[in-house]
Structure 1
Amino acid sequence: MLPVCRCPAHSNTFHQGVRAAPCTVRKTDYAFEMASSNIRYGEGVSKEIGMDLQNLGAKNVCVMTDRNLSQLPPMKAVLESLVKNGVKYKVYDNVRVEPTDSSFKDAISFAKNHAFDVFVAVGGGSVIDTCKAANLYACHSDADFLDFVNAPIGKGKPVSGAVKPLIAVPTTAGTGSETTGVAIFDYEPLKAKTGIASRAIRPTLGIVDPTHTLSMPERVAANSGFDVLCHALESYTALPYDQRSPCPTNPINRPAYQGSNPISDVWSRHALHVVAKYMKRAVRDPEDLEARSSMHLASVFAGIGFGNAGVHLWPEYMKPHGLSVVLTSPAVFNFTAPICPERHLEAAEILGADIRQVKREDAGAVLADTLRQILYDLHVEDGLGAVGYTKDDIPALVKGTIPQVGQSPPSYVYSWVKL
């Protein structure tokens, strides 16, 4: 009888005593791990946050937001709940929209100076990501800033120590940051976008209150929706988890972004269905609570999907982020389609394309045309030239993009193709 294999894939009791091939070192991973924040959803649910903080035994709470949101109803609702429940807090409202390493460091300094025991983020992805970073580095005060930043820009060290509880209150229907262990920022020295990816920094709770989305202007609703669309598409067409390398020697080294997998696929596909049904309505009518509520949930769905699978080819060259990724999406998915045409065709069909007579080799073109139609219907600029770029800008754009697509796990980018 052959010796029992002792590798992690076969060392459980189910496999003990059965014939097995000798264990060999794999080059690609064999497992995926699902992680997501707890999510509470409902109209007006923000008023419960003060009770949540009481339940956590919070004594000194950091509330992070940006200057604009500090004067808007979502922030007012949160602070009223804190006051009503006698929660002591300090507000940091200097979060930068589309954060940088410098703005992260400013928030980190604030957090380190006040010994907070719980963090609350009220805002979009920029606020939530900044709060994650502030929490992480306040709890790891001896760490260098680049220690936890994704390689190759940073050292990509795993987060082994505990962080404080973080409650996220998203006010846009786009990033899904309330579900993920990822914090994204612009690294100014290289003019490149990178981030920190660790399950340890995901929020303890995401409070998803759809009434907050009613204050989003039309363009914010559109750009946020494009973020949901691209997150769902990219995670669904990302490299499968069992083709990602290297295989981790310890589970702590398995990245948060692992590649497409059967569970992430469910969330990503469902997000696409919701986007197809409600996105245009949500953009065109800010009072359409059903549409805006549905897009808020779609953001959560896509966040769970891409927060575990990852994304792939998303050049980052302008603000806002949703507009940046969607402008290039037709070219991106035309490029990636040859490796998994079936998934690209399925996505095109979900988004409204008739694929009954489409050949596999035309999958990329069909999905690209479907995306262009969505952009046209929502009055989005057509291509880089329409937003002010010329051929002379291409070298700088490429230089800023290359550090993103060359990252080693844990990373923000997984691609079907070798670049």
Structure 2
Amino acid sequence: MAASNIRFGEGVTKEVGFDLKNMGASNVLVFTDPNLARLEPMRVALDSLAKAKVPFQVYDRVLIEPTNESMEDAIAFARNNDFDAFLAVGGGSVMDTAKVANLYKVYPEAELLDFVNAPIGKALPVLRPLHPLICVTTTAGTGSETTGVAIFDHVPLQAKIGIGNRAIKPTLGLIDPLHLKHTPKMVTSFTGFDVLCHALESYTAIPFKSRPAPSDPKFRPAYQGSNPVSDIWSLHALQMCEKYFYRAVADPEDIEARGAMHLASGIAGIGFGNAGVHLCHGCSYPISGMVKGKGYTPEGYESCGKDLVPHGLSVTITAPEVFKFTAPGCPDRHLEGARALGADSRGIKQADAGLFLADTVKKYMYDLGCPDGLSAMGFDSSDVDQLVTVIIDNYYLSTGKIKGTLPQERVTKLAPRQFTPEDLGNIFSNSMKNY
């Protein structure tokens, strides 16, 4: 088990300057995005650095949904300056960018794909110590403040790819509920669904004991399969969703509920950061990559200025169909997941576990404003083959023609049921409309 230290509570951001000073930082690179650069979380963080007399520079060019190009830009900025510590103030995109920049600063000779997960990257082990990284998370969804995972779009491949290695996990994650007070309603909803799917997928992933041991511990993946410790965190995160998710979306002034979802994000992060996720996330990556040109940008994300399926939405849009499919692999866990979300499973047979969990998730989706399936985001049946199709030989990888779900071995191989391209096609087809 590996997870970052976390600190939770209203106002903890004010302590970050002294945290970095106590770590011996003498030149800090602060990552944020152009929108957050003007907002209260950054003001509080920078005031804290100034109060502690810690020198810093700000990099505010992080993209929402980072790409290989934006990662390369951030890496170059980090490498060209003498930084000895990193601070991320933002959501998953900011935190993941900071993780990647930290890694590649320590490996100045490395190319971007050297540490990216196979089969797209080389998945090299990380053997050098990284610089201290503190993450001040401003969204209640990704759990990136606790995990050794960083995700970004690879534009030439039209796919989400990632680096998964416990060495890149933050030194400390600060979870400050005050940062969620002005988060738009649908941003709160979609990030909350990321929490929900993180927890459900990690709880239903294949058991850690069913996976082969690596030839050397340095090759052990961050995502290891469901395990007794992750199960505790994942189920508790689902119970927190049942208690607080609706309230957090309904009322931005409900700091108790929004703070609880903020904490649930980190709790789910500890669960899935060690157990892993599977098909909901595997299917989400081509959805995010292929939305360009479809004219879809949801409420609350207009400032991004581009077609966008937010990560939490891209993950949950196929979730009902995914859990219908995976339930035969571990029906008891699918039923337990539905119960943790508040559903009454009395009289439900194991054979109906998938449909029961799917209906439970679907009710959350309908009530909390998720669009009616992939078709509502510009997709249609003609996109299904491209969403699925993958050729994984090195020639097509090197020429940038790989697309779809099957390259996401980091996550799809954790599914509790084996699948074929036809199975994936059915998941996407049946997810065109959800209600």
**Matched residue, 1:330:** 320
Cα displacement (A) at 1:250: 1.3
**Matched residue, 1:183:** 150
**Matched residue, 2:262:** 296
RMSD value over aligned CA atoms? 1.1
Assess if the C-alpha contact under 8 Å between 1:104 and 1:130 holds in 2.
Answer: yes
**Matched residue, 1:286:** 252
**Matched residue, 1:79:** 46
Q: 1:65 aligns with which of 8, 16, 32?
A: 32
| Superposition TM-score, scaled by structure 1 size | 0.89
Q: 1:250 aligns with which of 191, 216, 227?
A: 216
**Matched residue, 1:263:** 229
Q: How many residues align?
A: 382
**Matched residue, 2:200:** 233
Q: Which residues of 2 match residues 33-52 of structure 1 at below 5 A?
A: 34-52=1-19
| Superposition TM-score, scaled by structure 2 size | 0.86
Q: 1:359 aligns with which of 338, 349, 356?
A: 349
Distance 2:348 2:335 in 1: 8
1:107 corresponds to 2:74: yes
Cα displacement (A) at 1:190: 1.2
After TM superposition, what 4+ stretches of structure 1 lie above 2 angstroms from structure 2? 399-407
Q: Which whole-Å deviations, capped at 9, do the CAs of 1:144-179 have from their partners, x for residues lacking one?
A: 211100000001111011110000000000000000
Percent identity between the two aligned chains: 58
Call closer, same or farther: CA 1:190–1:403 in 2, change over 3 Å: farther
What amino acid maps onto 1:305 in structure 2? G
Q: 2:372 aligns with which of 382, 387, 406?
A: 382
Once structures 1 and 2 are overlaid, which stretch shifts more, 221-230 or 380-389?
A: 380-389
1:401 corresponds to 2:404: yes
Distance 1:379 1:193 in 2: 25
SS state of the match for residue 215, structure 1?
coil
Distance 2:409 2:214 in 1: 18
Distance 2:196 2:230 in 1: 15
Distance 2:132 2:357 in 1: 41
Q: 2:23 aligns with which of 43, 56, 59?
A: 56
SS state of the match for residue 163, structure 2?
strand
Q: 1:310 aligns with which of 268, 276, 279?
A: 276
Distance 1:310 1:177 in 2: 13
SS state of the match for residue 123, structure 2?
coil
Assess if the C-alpha contact under 8 Å between 1:259 and 1:309 holds in 2.
Answer: yes
**Matched residue, 1:373:** 363
Larger-gyration structure (1/2): 1
User: Which structure 1 residue ranges, 5 or more long, are not aligned?
Assistant: 1-33
1:120 corresponds to 2:123: no
What amino acid maps onto 1:296 in structure 2? H
Q: Which whole-Å deviations, capped at 9, do the CAs of 1:261-292 have from their partners, x for residues lacking one?
A: 00000000000000011001000100001100
Distance 1:350 1:207 in 2: 26
Assess if the C-alpha contact under 8 Å between 1:193 and 1:404 holds in 2.
Answer: no
What amino acid maps onto 1:416 in structure 2? P
Assess if the C-alpha contact under 8 Å between 1:344 and 1:363 holds in 2.
Answer: yes
Distance 1:126 1:170 in 2: 10
Q: Which residues of 2 match residues 123-272 of structure 1 at below 5 A?
A: 123-245=90-212, 247-272=213-238
What amino acid maps onto 1:63 in structure 2? V
Distance 1:215 1:165 in 2: 29
SS state of the match for residue 402, structure 1?
coil
Distance 2:34 2:268 in 1: 27
Cα displacement (A) at 1:58: 1.1
SS state of the match for residue 135, structure 2?
strand
What amino acid maps onto 1:275 in structure 2? C
Assess if the C-alpha contact under 8 Å between 1:310 and 1:413 holds in 2.
Answer: no
Q: Which whole-Å deviations, capped at 9, do the CAs of 1:193-241 have from their partners, x for residues lacking one?
A: 1100111110000011111111211011001100000000000000110
What amino acid maps onto 2:156 in structure 1? P
Distance 1:378 1:248 in 2: 42
Call closer, same or farther: CA 1:143–1:185 in 2, change over 3 Å: same
